[in-house]
Amino acid sequence: MCAPPTPEADATKARNLRLAYAFTLAAGAARGVWSYTVLSGYLFVLTDSNTKVGLAEGAQGIAQCVFGLLAGWAADRFRRQTVCRVAAILGVVASLGLILAVSTNDVSARARFNYVTVGLAAFGAYQGCWSTALETLFADSTTKGADRSEATARKFGLTLLATTAGPLLALILFFCLGDTWSLPALKTVAVVGLALCAPPALLLLGLRDVVSEACDDEATEQGDDENIARWILLADLVSGFGSGMTVKFIPLFFKNRAGFSPVATNALSIGAALLMVGAAKGCERWSQRAGRARVCAACMVLASLGLVGLAWADAGSFTGVLLNTGPHLTSTLQRASAVALYLLTCAQHACRPLKKAALNDHVPYHARGRWNALDGATRFGWSGSAVLGGYLVDRGGYGLTFVVTALTQLAAAAVWWRLVGRVDPAAPPVAGDDLAEPLLLEDAAPTRAARSASFVVDDYSEMPRG
pLDDT tens column, 116-145: 999 999 999 999 899 888 888 888 888 765
Residue 180 lies in a domain: yes
pLDDT digits (tens, 9 = 90+) for 338-372: 999 999 998 888 888 788 778 777 777 666 666 76
Res 366: pLDDT: 67
Per residue in 178-229, pLDDT (tens digit) is 899 999 999 999 999 999 999 999 999 999 888 755 455 544 444 456 788 8
> According to the model, what pLDDT value does residue 76 have?
81
Question: For residue 114, what is the domain's CATH number?
Answer: 1.20.1250.20
pLDDT at 99: 95
Q: Is the pLDDT of residue 437 over 50?
A: no
pLDDT at 290 over 90: no
Higher pLDDT, 317 or 17: 17
Please report whether residue 2 resides in a domain: no
**Would you state the pLDDT for residue 442?**
35
pLDDT of 149 over the 70 cut: no
Cα–Cα dist 331/252, whole Å: 18
Distance between CA 41 and CA 300 in Å, rounded?
28
Mean pLDDT of the chain: 81
Mean pLDDT for 55-59 is: 88
Tell me if 224 is assigned to some domain.
yes
CA-wise closest residue to 440 among 144, 226, 123:
226
User: Within a domain: residue 1?
Assistant: no
**Confidence at residue 459, expressed as pLDDT on a 0 to 100 scale:** 43
> What pLDDT is stored for residue 153 in this prediction?
66
CB 294 within 8 A of CB 429: no
pTM for the model stands at 0.76
What is the Cβ-side half-sphere exposure of residue 175, based on CA atoms within 13 angstroms? 9
Range of the domain at 251: 7-465
Report the number of distinct structural domains present in the chain. Answer: 1
